[in-house]
Chain A
């Protein structure tokens, strides 16, 4: 099986890190993975995206034409990629920041209050983790525990104190 995921949002929302976490979790669970960022004159407030492929077989092109999953944390990102999502795919978007997604009966569309949820938990920079929690629930790429294990290994020692909070936020996203 191959799952192609595009994560997109504003620079500074932790899009690239969230993608790296998915790829890392895939690697730890014996999958082939690739993580391809958009790069350029990106900055906080600009747009950023990354393409993550998780597969049981060798990954040919790391570029995603038609994602199975789109995680969108701002309006421009949703507009840019929503039409590309495959039939039967999933879109999860942050309804705190995006009014609505285009209706599409062929796609599982979930608007969740990611940013609001993160703020309520006193973790305003962790909307990315709320979205990832929901992504795990909707897609079954991994279990939430596999993702938490990966997070533990990926977080630098200087941020280890934030591990528990990240996990709580992941759980909150999973429950939404």
Chain B
């Protein structure tokens, strides 16, 4: 068995990125993700890569844009306010059909907010953030080991579909330590980057990276081609973990570290004779709509638990589509819902059914 290491989520993610072939990192420090950049600064030079602290988030994301256009495996990371600053660049990268990996270790908002963990960037990550019709694949790890495997996979997904992939953690996941190993990381065959602007050497037609299409027909054509790829992503890339959901009295839908709290709640409620299931979306976009619809056939009710005022709950409602009641419980601003609070919420729901 491979030797395990005890690492912080942020550091483990940086290590995984380098092992997945990421040679370029552009970033700007912000709590609670600074360890990603610090680790990259220490290790990148040793593997012949480049770490650069840009002068701002806007600069960093545009460096990512340039590097991705030249076909490099490139990454940036930030936390909520920094991702807002990067959103213009992310829209350009999506509009130019370029692959890259963007990490958001979410903290409480809006504005500068706070530095404690939150999930209040769900809308921003899954519904846009920047302008225009575009999507990111959004991956939501729930453990340090999963931060490692999903980071490795993120680069392959990005290259396969030529689109930016976001890894969305929170301050708690970034800061906590768990045992990890780096053996057998997921790896896929990815298409060659024939579109990269690497210099023609007078041997081929020039490649152009661009998101500007003045002619409406041309822009619509580009957007629709991208839409076809999004449909493929929806078909192929949905990831979800479902535990104990069949015939459950209440199914908690939660992602990231909240899903782990949900599993604690599941055990606590079992002792009280109430069957709680957990559906954990691992991809937030594409959202596991079909899986939740399937669970809704037999489960009696849903409870979306989030570190927000209620964002993912909208997608849960769309997936359940009126078949069963969908409730919400959340805390925000850096406060994490406790198992006791969630148990009380479930007892209220079950009490109302009787």
* 0/1 string, A18-58, CB within 8 A of B gives 1: 00100110010000111111011100000000000000000
**Inter-subunit contact B339/A34 (CB<8 Å):** no
Contacts of B115 in A (CB 8 A): 39-41
Closest chain-B Cβ to A60's Cβ sits at a distance in Å of 4
Q: A20-B6, A39-B32 are in contact. Are A60 and B175 (CB under 8 A)?
A: no
Q: Chain A nearest CB: distance from B330 CB in Å?
A: 16
| A60–B266 alpha-carbon span in the complex (Å) | 10
Q: Contact string, B1-44, partner A, CB cutoff 8 A, digits 1/0? A: 00010100000000000000000000000011000000000000
A-B residue pairs in contact (CB < 8 Å), sample of 30? A20-B6, A23-B6, A24-B6, A27-B4, A27-B179, A33-B6, A33-B179, A34-B176, A34-B178, A35-B6, A35-B177, A35-B178, A36-B175, A36-B177, A37-B175, A37-B176, A39-B31, A39-B32, A39-B115, A39-B171, A40-B116, A60-B261, A61-B261, A61-B264, A62-B172, A62-B178, A63-B172, A63-B336, A65-B338, A65-B339
Q: Is the CB of A34 within 8 A of B267?
A: no
Q: Which of chain B's residues have a CB closer than 8 A to the CB of A27?
A: 4, 6, 179
**Could you say which residues of chain A place their CB within 8 Å of the CB of B178?**
33-35, 59, 62
Of residues 118 through 170 on chain A, the ones whose CB sits less than 8 Å from some CB of chain B are: none
Would you list which residues of chain B between 170 and 186 have a CB under 8 Å from chain A? Answer: 171-172, 175-179
Chain B residues, CB < 8 A from A37: 175-176
Interface size on A, residues (CB 8 A): 19
- Interface presence of B314 (CB below 8 A): no
Listed from nearest, the 4 A-B pairs whose CB atoms lie closest are: A60-B263, A35-B177, A61-B264, A60-B264
Contacts of A65 in B (CB 8 A): 338-340
List residues of chain A with CB within 8 A of the CB of B175: 36-37, 39
Query: B264: which A residues are within 8 A, CB to CB?
Result: 60-61
Q: Is residue B257 within 8 Å, beta carbon to beta carbon, of the partner chain? A: yes
Q: Are A36 and B176 touching (Cβ within 8 A)?
A: yes
Size bin of chain B's contact surface: 20 to 34
CB contact under 8 A between A63 and B177, given known A33-B6, A40-B115: no
Q: Spell out B's residues near A (CB within 8 Å).
A: 4, 6, 31-32, 115-116, 171-172, 175-179, 257, 260-261, 263-264, 266-267, 336, 338-340
**What's the Cα separation between A37 and B6 when bound, in Å?**
14
Complex CA–CA separation, A47 to B32 (angstroms): 18
Q: How far is the CA of A34 from the CA of B257 in the complex (A)?
A: 12
How many Å lie between the Cα of A32 and that of B32 in the bound state? 25
- Given A61-B263, A62-B178, output 16 extra A-B contacts at Cβ < 8 Å: A20-B177, A23-B177, A27-B4, A32-B179, A34-B177, A35-B176, A39-B115, A39-B175, A60-B260, A60-B264, A61-B260, A61-B261, A62-B176, A63-B172, A63-B336, A63-B338
* Docked pose: A60 CA to B171 CA in angstroms: 17
* Measured CA separation A36–B175 after assembly (Å): 7
Given contacts A60-B264, A61-B260, A61-B263, contact A36 B172 (CB under 8 A): yes
A48-B66 Cα distance, complex, nearest whole Å: 42
Q: Chain A's nearest CB lies how many Å from the CB of B81? A: 16
- CA separation between A86 and B7, bound complex, in Å? 29
Question: Which of B171, B260, B266, B267 neighbours the largest number of chain A CB atoms within 10 Å of its CB?
Answer: B260
Shortest B116–chain A CB gap in Å is: 7
Q: Which residues of A contact B266 (CB under 8 A)?
A: 60
List, in ascending order, chain B residues with CB within 8 A of A62's CB. Answer: 172, 176, 178, 257, 260
Closest to A35 in B: B177
Q: Which residues of A sit under 8 angstroms from B31, Cβ to Cβ?
A: 39
Contacts of B177 in A (CB 8 A): 20, 23, 34-36
Nearest-CB distance from B181 to chain A (Å)?
11
Among B176, B261, B263, the one with the most A-chain Cβ atoms within 10 Å of its Cβ is B176
CB neighbours (8 Å) of B263 from chain A are: 60-61
Cα-based distance from A35 to B144 in the complex (angstroms): 11
Distance between A47 CB and nearest chain B CB, rounded to angstroms: 15
